[in-house]
Amino acid sequence: MANKKFCLGLFTGSVDKLTAAGVVLSGAAAMDMDVDIYVLLQGARAFKKEIGDDASKLNMSENAEMKAEFMESLKKLKVKTWLEFFREAKEITNVKIHMCGLAGKVWGGNVLEDFVDIVDDIVGIGSYINSAAEADVSLFI
Amino acid sequence: MTPEELKNLKVDKTVDARGTSCPGPLLAAKKAIGEIKDSQILEVLSADEGTKKDIPKWAEKKNYKYLGTIEESGYFRIFVKK
């Protein structure tokens, strides 16, 4: 039986939502889903090589004033960083990470080498829409 | 299976995920099940409450057989047959 397809539009570049995306991605990996992630505008900044999982360079989307407590709690609970979640999911199942060309350029990323090494390619928006149309599960975070 | 039957099971692999929070135990189970053969039994140790619900659902979707859970002091022993 073919694996189910999971499409994620990843707009967010905030550490809390990226962590949530990583947890969701882990669930998809456990289910052996084929995953396509499309990194959109704000998300592209987090995937820049000089940002990645350096939490000091990432904002919180909610309860911004409680970032220190949030990060400390994640650490206590031994929760992986968002980038570790993404890397692990790629090791477990078929995960492709596609960078929206426009989003990359907005943050000064023009070629694959400008981004963390888990990004597979740079694509246009048509790829995202096609993938979302064919997916069994489609989320936008 | 009854708790007594579960306690007497011959387990082929045990994975201890008590140091991790969700989704750690589920991913530990996913990795470990790849290391045993069909019909063999996996035991997952987890202190994460959500795992009790997660693993039976995962097992059902993946066509593994969820055998049951034993509640120990501060953690769970969850049994799945591949």
Q: Which of A23, A31, A88 sits opposite B58 (nearest CB)?
A: A31
Q: A25 lies in which domain range?
A: 5-140
ipTM higher than threshold 0.85: no
- CA distance readout (Å), B56 to A34, A84, B2, B51: 21, 26, 16, 8
Residues in A touching B22 (Cβ below 8 Å): 23
Instruction: Compute the distance between CA of residue A141 and CA of residue B4 in angstroms, rounded to an integer.
Output: 45
Asked if the C-beta of B47 comes within 8 angstroms of chain A's C-beta atoms, the answer is no
- Please give the pLDDT value at position A1: 73
Cis preceding linkage at B23, omega within 30: yes
Question: Per the structure, how many domains does chain A have?
Answer: 1
Task: Give me the CATH number covering residue A23.
Answer: 3.40.1260.10
- Please give the pLDDT value at position A21: 98
Q: Can you list the domains of chain B with their CATH numbers? A: 3-46+57-81 (3.30.110.40)
- CA distance readout (Å), A137 to A33, A141, B1: 10, 13, 34
Instruction: Compute the distance between CA of residue B46 and CA of residue B28 in angstroms, rounded to an integer.
Output: 10
Q: List chain A residues with pLDDT less than 50.
A: none
pLDDT digits (tens, 9 = 90+) for A112-123: 999 999 999 999
Q: Where are the alpha helices (DSSP H) in A2-124?
A: 15-30, 41-46, 67-76, 82-92, 101-106
Per the CB < 8 A criterion, the answer to whether A59 and A15 are in contact is yes
Asked if the C-beta of B50 comes within 8 angstroms of chain A's C-beta atoms, the answer is no
- Please give the pLDDT value at position B33: 96
